[in-house]
Chain A
Amino acid sequence: MIRHLFTLIWNRKRSNFLLMAEILLSFFVLFVVSVLLVNNYYNYRQPMGFRSDNVWEFNINAGQDTVARRAKLRLLVQELQATPGVVAITGTSSNTPFSFSTMNTDEYRYQGKPVGGYTDRYDADDDMVKVLGLNVVDGRWFDRRDDAAGRRFPVIINQAFAERMFGNEAAVGKVLTNEKKDEEWHVVGVVEAYRSGSDFAANEPAIFHRKVLQDTSRFVQQQVPELLVRVQPGSGAVLEQQLVRKIKSVTKGWSANVNTLEENRRDKMKFLVTPLAALGLVGLFLIINVALGLFGVLWYNISQRKAEIGLRRALGATGNGISGQFLGEMLVVTTLGVLGGLVLAVQFPLLGVFGVASQIYVQAMVLATVLIFVLTAICALQPSRIAAGIQPAVSLREE
């Protein structure tokens, strides 16, 4: 029977080729959608590396006031820290968690070799570890000892950076340079991860530079950092107003914008999910289209082949035998189409085009294969049941 199926498919290669091409293309669409899905899911499952609950972000606007900004800022941080309900405060660059701002560079070298790709850079002070609950897995976070670092600036990297740059070697103690070798950085610690972009951000190399408010050499005079404040769980509007009022009174006229990191997280999520959902919708639409096409082709096939089906029934095929034959033909054609699609799909990991890990491509291939078989099975089921219901007498009438 299997031989017979292949003979039939081969003898009808022209119409089956179209069907196969359609399956190949829809497999490819499914594969691309699957890569996106699997990749985002994979990222989503990675550790964030920090805690965003009970952290408020103060976006301070000094406006026209340029008088003694540094001193005012230092005083402000002291005042805020002293407020009951505040656990810790950190000043950081504008690329706070879930913000729309990023800072990246490819300047780091170790023995002349770069990390490969860009590294996200963050400015941090000694208290960031407390505010964001970063997970230090090796070495230590920044502290007062780093005040005496001199020209060799301390940095902290994430594990992704460490693995790419140093492989299995210990990262702590290593010295990085820039390409011209006129700057040096000393790795003092490693954090597990810092996926600050969003829940879907990839776990890419990241580095923290120490910038403390006291450090006038490193902080540009006019710069006002973002303040991240960890508050006691359950703190609400009362504390928020208290802090805003304090900012106004201490600085005499600066204003502040407050968001919780959780709010920012949701906003970022919405921002990312919207195009993803739109893309998913387009994908779904395409797939429905493909399904309808397949369904139509199969339906047409069966109405075209009524005489043949009737004849087979007249020669002794059972109804189940007929539907089995149709499903079998569909299975073979689908398999051939999928094989063609896989040949195309496998080029992605082989050529390494989008920098997505091979295992994600493999998973996407598996997912797309399963989906396409389910899809064709659904499309073939009803037509093949109709085929099974065709009576032998039909063979007498159709030509």
Chain B
Amino acid sequence: MNSTTAPNNRFASPEIGLTTAPATAMLKLTDIEKVYQTKTIETVALNRVNLTINKGEFVSIMGPSGCGKSTLLSIMGLLDEPSSGQVEIAGRPVTAYSDKELAHLRNQKIGFVFQSYHLINDLSVLDNVELPLLYRSSVSGKERRQRAHAALDKVGLSARTNHFPSQLSGGQRQRVAIARALAGNPELILADEPTGNLDSVMGEEIMDLLMGLNRHDGVTIVMVTHDEQQALKTERVIRFFDGSQVS
């Protein structure tokens, strides 16, 4: 290995922040409503949400528990459909995509970090992280392993690749979930409280990691967080209350 070439410059070059290219919308939500219907009660999780996430933005979403943050993120990640309203991705309404195209978008463009990790218990850490790449026929088995190892390295878990999720602490699982989202090199990362279970030092490191991806690789990031400090580091903070956007 040649140690003189630094592959990843951690510090932003000033020009990048100054570029004034016209903002293009990555995601556009119009009049989104999400109503959960159960036998006894109807919950309005999202109420008339209008939101545009531009390419290259780092947005954080804040709000009290139960205000609809996860719901919003899952709609952005094409995991769930709104009860009404329109989601546009890359300028095209989601309803215009076929099931297969949606699967393709989820696989190639989006990296999703679930609030409760959602790892497959019967797969090792490495296999879990490889998972998104498994659904890309263009990626060979060897490359898959390399990229998974690299992603685990970034979250500081390269020593745990052969562990199973049940053998990890909550924070470690959370980092595996983050590594899995990174492994696919997505254009858009949707992270639901990615540092919720981490100590402040680890939380900082993950924050730095995300900011690096945003600055250097142009990855668009939407992050749900309860941490004001973290939110202030991002370009835009969207606040929610009771299903509605308040700022």
Contacts and interface: CB of A to CB of B under 8 A. Distances in A.
B79 A316 contact: no
Contacts of A318: 99-100, 103, 135
Nearest to A12: B122
B141 A315 contact: no
B58 interface: no
A266 B24 CA distance: 86
Contact of B80 (A307, A312, A396): A396
A311 B120 contact: yes
B225 interface: no
Interface string B63-87: 0000000100010011111000000
A101 to B, nearest CB: 64
- Quick one: which of B81, B134, B180 has the most chain A CB within 10 A? B134
A319 B141 CA distance: 22
B108 interface: yes
Nearest to A11: B122
Contact of A8 (B108, B118, B122): B122
B78 A392 contact: yes
A53 interface: no
Nearest to B100: A318
B132 interface: yes
B122 A315 contact: no
Interface residues of B, number: 30
A4 interface: yes
A332 to B, nearest CB: 15
B104 A314 contact: no
A323 to B, nearest CB: 13
A317 B79 contact: no
Interface string B179-213: 01000000000000000000000000000000000
B48 interface: no
A286 B153 CA distance: 53
Contact of A316 (B70, B104, B123, B141): B104
A393 B75 CA distance: 9
Contacts of A1: 134
Contact of A395 (B118, B134, B136): B118
Interface in A156-210: none
Contacts of A145: none
A248 B112 CA distance: 101
Contacts of A7: 123, 127
Given A318-B100, A319-B99, A396 B134 contact: no
A126 interface: no
Interface in B125-141: 127, 131-132, 134-136, 141
A312 B120 CA distance: 9
A316 B107 CA distance: 4
B118 A307 contact: yes
B124 to A, nearest CB: 8
A28 to B, nearest CB: 29
Interface in A310-328: 311-319, 321
B127 to A, nearest CB: 6
A45 interface: no
The majority secondary structure among interface residues of chain A is helix
A136 B19 CA distance: 104
Interface string A371-399: 00000000000000000000111011001
B240 interface: no
B239 interface: no
A326 to B, nearest CB: 14
Interface string B136-177: 100001000000000000000000000000000000000000
B28 interface: no
A308 B79 contact: no
B106 A315 contact: yes
B95 interface: no
Contact of A399 (B99, B116, B120, B131): B116
Nearest to A15: B122
A316 B186 CA distance: 12
Interface in A13-46: none
Contacts of B104: 316
B79 A315 contact: no
Contacts of B114: 395-396
B79 A393 contact: yes
A269 to B, nearest CB: 55
A395 B131 CA distance: 15
Nearest to B78: A392
Interface of A: 1, 3-4, 7-8, 11-12, 307-308, 311-319, 321, 391-393, 395-396, 399
Interface of B: 70, 74, 77-81, 99-100, 103-104, 106-108, 112, 114, 116, 118, 120, 122-124, 127, 131-132, 134-136, 141, 180
Closest 4 CB pairs of A and B: A316-B107, A393-B80, A316-B135, A11-B122
16 contacts: A3-B141, A8-B123, A12-B122, A313-B106, A314-B77, A314-B79, A314-B112, A314-B118, A315-B112, A315-B135, A317-B103, A317-B107, A318-B99, A392-B79, A392-B80, A392-B106
Given A4-B134, A315-B131, A318-B135, 4 more contacts: A314-B112, A316-B136, A391-B80, A392-B106
